[in-house]
Structure 1
Amino acid sequence: MSKKIAVIGTGATGSVIGGLLTAGGHDVTMIDQWSAHVNAMKESGLHISIQEEEFTVPVHAIHLYEVCQIDTLFDIIFIACKSYDTLWLTHLIAPYLEPDGFMVSAQNSLNDEWIAPVVGYTRDIGCVLTMSSEVFEPGKLKRNTPMDRVTFTLGELSGRITPRLQELQQILGSAGKTELTTNLWGLKWSKLVFNSTVAPVCALSGLGPAHLADAPERVRVCLELGREALLVGQAQGYSMEPVFGLSMEEAIASPESLVENIVKVSRFEGRGARSFFHQDVLKGRPTEVDFINGLVCRKGIESGVPTPANDAAVEFVKRLEKGELSPDPVNVVRLESHMAT
């Protein structure tokens, strides 16, 4: 029997999931608080651009305020909002989850730590995203990552490979290449290493990940941000997966190789692809820096690992959010100088 699926939060990631699952024949309801985006999808469908391919998918989209009118329960609910909206949106949508249904955190950071206590640890499945996508105009999605590259990696919080996990893999395959992991938490921290290394530098400079190696100060700042995140992960006891082809030990020993590999992988998305912090700044909304670099800092305090570079990155990105700084490569020079004080 087909599953009833909801996607709450239909920005870039949520639109990829909701739009492509709908195109694959699945029963999907897309829910968002961006009125113009929902209206555009209701009227004209979701226009999707993937590399050289463009098409439009008629979708079932509803406004957040219309959730109270839902008269059915969902088997699967994808949470694809920003991390700072996770807790209240989880509480909002949880009553619409089937008793044997589950939620999937299709987000950056460690949102399962906040979702699972609300819905129950057996009703939450984690997902690690390795995809670049953008929604800057209502009803228009641009996916930068080719469909043949791994997009989602799913894992049970327990680390087991279960029948429902395998079924979800088959379903999500319509939206991108999907793999399974028995090491969800380690893989999530490995992705956090990438995000904490790349996102602040991209937002502050106004440049995409493929441009990180174009200036030595960008490389040096990335090296220090990544080194701290790796050390915190090690102190926290995460069994981290290889980070862009390097084991945790290799990445700590040679952060230069880590940054080199990050840039190499980023170029598959195209030199015009923009990091998610940078996209948020361009849209005039808060970034997730508190849940990426800020999380590295908080876990560092728990573990007794100093994180001065990530502390400085949080401070500078906050200044960017407030309009005290504008995206400019010189901000990375200023950040590096601040880190040295």
Structure 2
Amino acid sequence: MKIVIAGAGAMGSRFGLMLHQAGNDVVLIDTWREHVEAIKKNGLRANYNGKEIAEPIPIFYPKELSDSHKQVDLIVMFTKAMQLKPMLQSIKPLIGPRTMVLCLLNGLGHDDTLQNYVPKKNILLGITMWTAGLEGPGKAKLFGDGEVELQNIDPSGEENARRIVDVLKKAGLNGTYSGNVMYSVWRKACVNGTLNGTCTLLDANISEFGATTVAVPILKSIISEFAAVAEKESVILDQEEILQHVIETFDPNGIGKHYPSMHQDLIKNNRLTEIDYINGAVARKGKKYDVPTPYCAFLTELVHAKEQILKAR
């Protein structure tokens, strides 16, 4: 299958590498100059569960797209949330009438953006519980296990969605077909909403934050705001289950020593964050539905203040 990974950061590198190793024709697209040039020169390098590897996977800037890359079978979107629209605009030549587009971005509301560029029957929404990091331009750190859950947003797209699930399974990415992906999207957004901003502001990994006496009360408050807003969109979140799920991530023998992606963006790489598409999205929706979201609103403002202090870009 001809696959494009649009956004070849940490998670895009993981998916690109595993799909490439499974025999697919994979092309990476990214805009980070140092990263792109490093992969062009040395291949995609990775610490893959403790083993150093390098794979010669083609990578391009969006402006380098040519006729030879038209009519791809699958595009996996792994940009930052604020980069989704400009990336879709840039890769329009790749989106043919049969091109499936799988969006695995953090946050909420991406299906509305996708429908401006992709036929609804070809749109897949999903979440992934894989983890990944970047040790530097062109060098990924990949560890642990995970899975991908996805679903078509239009009933006519189920056959193709299940076909993509099989491709992910064959690549070892543990694809599963979801019967209610919007619940899963909200659930994951809730997990990100409790950990990303807090760990970023505290400059802490998940385990360090979880060891504080205030962690669980903060989790409960944020989760309750997500649940109240989600209910207005006919998604009923199991708050106790989500709370216990987040608490489980505190385990240092699991992913507790992991720094969330927002921390990697702002603290490590001085890049703007996705806070407006996670807690910020809940705060905006809260205003729309007249639902109070003080924790999400304040957390969003604090992260923006941190971005300005660090002069992130």
Counterpart position of 2:216: 219
Q: CA RMSD in A?
A: 2.2
Contact 2:73 2:98 in 1 (8 A): yes
2:190 pairs with 1:193 = yes
Query: Counterpart of 2:130 in structure 1: which amino acid?
Result: M
2:207 pairs with 1:210 = yes
Query: Counterpart of 1:308 in structure 2: which amino acid?
Result: P
Contact 1:203 1:278 in 2 (8 A): yes
- 1:8 CA displacement: 1.2
Spell out, residue by residue over 1:281-314, the C-alpha distance to the aligned partner (whole angstroms, 9 max, x if none). Answer: 1211100000000011112222221000000000
Match of 2:248 among 249, 261, 269: 261
Contact 2:229 2:291 in 1 (8 A): yes
Counterpart position of 1:334: none
What's the TM-score, normalizing by structure 2?
0.91
- 1:101 CA displacement: 1.3
Counterpart position of 1:318: 304
SS at match of 1:216: coil
Q: CA distance change for structure 1 residues 12 and 159 in 2, over 3 Å: closer, same or farther?
A: farther
Number of matched pairs:
309
Counterpart position of 1:40: 38
Counterpart position of 1:169: 165
Counterpart position of 2:226: 229
Q: CA distance change for structure 1 residues 159 and 73 in 2, over 3 Å: closer, same or farther?
A: closer
Q: CA distance change for structure 1 residues 322 and 99 in 2, over 3 Å: closer, same or farther?
A: same
Q: CA distance change for structure 1 residues 25 and 310 in 2, over 3 Å: closer, same or farther?
A: same
Counterpart position of 2:271: 285
Work out the percentage of aligned pairs sharing the same amino acid: 24
Hey, what's the Cα distance between the residues in 1 that align with 2:50 and 2:31? 30
Counterpart position of 2:141: 142
Q: CA distance change for structure 1 residues 67 and 96 in 2, over 3 Å: closer, same or farther?
A: same
Contact 1:115 1:124 in 2 (8 A): yes
SS at match of 2:8: coil
- 1:324 CA displacement: 6.3
Match of 2:26 among 13, 28, 49: 28
Query: Counterpart of 1:119 in structure 2: which amino acid?
Result: V
Counterpart position of 2:55: 57
Spell out, residue by residue over 1:136-187, the C-alpha distance to the aligned partner (whole angstroms, 9 max, x if none). Answer: 411111123x23x32x111111367822122211212315222110111111
- 1:219 CA displacement: 3.0
Hey, what's the Cα distance between the residues in 2 that align with 1:100 and 1:324? 43
- 1:193 CA displacement: 0.7
2:269 pairs with 1:275 = no
Hey, what's the Cα distance between the residues in 1 that align with 2:115 and 2:4? 18
Spell out, residue by residue over 1:243-292, the C-alpha distance to the aligned partner (whole angstroms, 9 max, x if none). Answer: xxxxx15348xx5x45423424x752251x11111011121110000000
Q: Which sections of structure 1, spanning at least 5 residues, go unmatched? A: 241-247, 327-341
2:100 pairs with 1:106 = no
Q: CA distance change for structure 1 residues 304 and 159 in 2, over 3 Å: closer, same or farther?
A: farther
Q: CA distance change for structure 1 residues 230 and 194 in 2, over 3 Å: closer, same or farther?
A: same
2:138 pairs with 1:153 = no
What's the TM-score, normalizing by structure 1?
0.84
Contact 1:212 1:218 in 2 (8 A): yes
Query: Counterpart of 1:261 in structure 2: which amino acid?
Result: E
Q: CA distance change for structure 1 residues 13 and 132 in 2, over 3 Å: closer, same or farther?
A: same
Counterpart position of 2:240: 250
Hey, what's the Cα distance between the residues in 2 that align with 1:298 and 1:214? 31
